[in-house]
Amino acid sequence: MAPAAVLSDNMPQISNDPALPLVSLGPLLDPNSPATLSTAQSLISALTSSGFLYLTDSPIPPSLLSRVYSLSAKFFDRPFDEKDALAWTTPRANRGYTGMGREKVSLGLSKEEVAQERGGQGEDQKESFEIGRDDEDGQPNQWPEGDTEFKEVMLEFFERCKRLHAVVMRGIALGLKLDPDFFAGYVRQGDNTLRLLHYPSVPATAFENGRVRAGLHSDYGSITFLFQDSRGGLQVEREGGRFVDVTPIEGTIVMNAGDLLSRWSNGLIQSTRHRVVEPPLKTAKEGDGRYPPRYSVAYFCNPDFDRTIDALPVTWEGSKEGKKWDPINKARLLRAIQIQGFDQTMKDYPAFRDGLFFEQELDLELSLTKRKVNCRNSGPPKMVEATL
């Protein structure tokens, strides 16, 4: 079996760098297990030390995941016009297809910074398809016409990930010495996002000048489940700017904490920055000098949109620093992050009139969280100005 995490070939080798932890879901799925509490404590230890871990003993059937991968590859193999007919439209919906060259994840805090990154690194080398809960009023998912299997499988997978989200949040509650059901009222609706990702085959020259498949960022929700194929390429940032390869391990789920969970825990839990680069050179290049494609599936978990998040007293009471952040409505935070900087086409968007894009609070969020800026362009790839 491959090691849980190995240092990249192009960075200094440090022998005492710890591997990403592995935590079994088994005891968390069985509340009567004598190992439930110790497993919950291991979960918190992993989240507070590195923010990234592997989950083993997943309740999601491998056969279902295999179908998700197969149907995802089939979808991305469609002609561009068919995919673009299902194009991602608005931040509020956050559903649909995003083509190559239309997104740049970045840590830049201004349009100029993002434009500079685009000029140096280029756009992210990927395309994606987002699916939300299927019963949200006024925000329907976009489904390929006539492909009932795609819809049925993706909705089943969405629901199973939603249940797993509840299980993990129960484990986090136990690990923090809260009532096991503390988070239950925050995850009833399932305001989450299932994201299918395709990193197409590209020539080796595509990664010149520091270009990557997905730029350095942190996730802005609570937790993320990542299902990755055997290609590799995901890297986690360590102290000092070093990166650790998150080596694919068959049968595991990579899980990481997002900015919102870090804020919820008053900074106790780490929201770790990560990126996707070309796979290790020793296995990446094919005979024709191209890098093979990479497929992954991400499930971004969030509290329900109508809930307000406040730092848990157990994480700050009695500490010298005290509570670091005021309460924040989850929807306001995510909408502000998603909407910020959408230019002319977004000026009449209702969120602006509703006060979601208010500069003072957004600046506060930018300064207090290490989060990704999701930069999406509209129109043909590489034909419009960079937007933040």
Query: Over the stretch 280-320, which tens digit does the pLDDT of each residue have?
Result: 555 545 556 777 888 999 999 999 988 998 999 999 998 88
pTM above 0.75, yes or no: yes
- Enter the DSSP assignment of 23: E
pLDDT < 50: residue spans in the chain:
1-17, 104-111, 114-115, 117-121, 284, 339-388
In angstroms, the Cα distances linking 271 to 16, 21, 61, 91 are 22, 15, 28, 22
What is the structure's pLDDT at 71?
A: 98
Read off the tokens for 264: 């919820």
What is the structure's pLDDT at 203?
A: 79
Q: How far apart are CA 313 and CA 318, in angstroms?
A: 9
What is the structure's pLDDT at 137?
A: 86
Residue whose C-alpha is closest to residue 195's, from 219, 231, 173:
219
Read off the tokens for 193: 């996002």
What is the structure's pLDDT at 297?
A: 96
Q: How far apart are CA 44 and CA 61, in angstroms?
A: 26
Q: How far apart are CA 328 and CA 364, in angstroms?
A: 11
